[in-house]
Amino acid sequence: MLHLILTSLYVIVIVTPDRRILLSLQRMIFDCTK
């Protein structure tokens, strides 16, 4: 499960290098992991 999330994040980072989107994604992941 974690591997899939990491890979998807890696792809998103390559596709959309936007810090705002990355920050929002990080918050979403933190909420999911909690």
pLDDT in tens, 2-13: 788 888 878 877
Instruction: Give the three-class secondary structure for 17.
Output: coil
In the chain, the number of structural domains is 1
pTM (2 d.p.): 0.39
CA–CA separation, 14 and 34 (whole Å): 26
CA–CA separation, 8 and 18 (whole Å): 15
The predicted structure's pLDDT at residue 1 = 67
- Alpha-carbon torsion (20, 25, 3, 30), positive or negative: positive
Domain span holding position 4: 1-33
The predicted structure's pLDDT at residue 5 = 83
Interhelix angle 2-15/19-33, nearest 10 degrees: 170
pLDDT at 24 over 70: yes
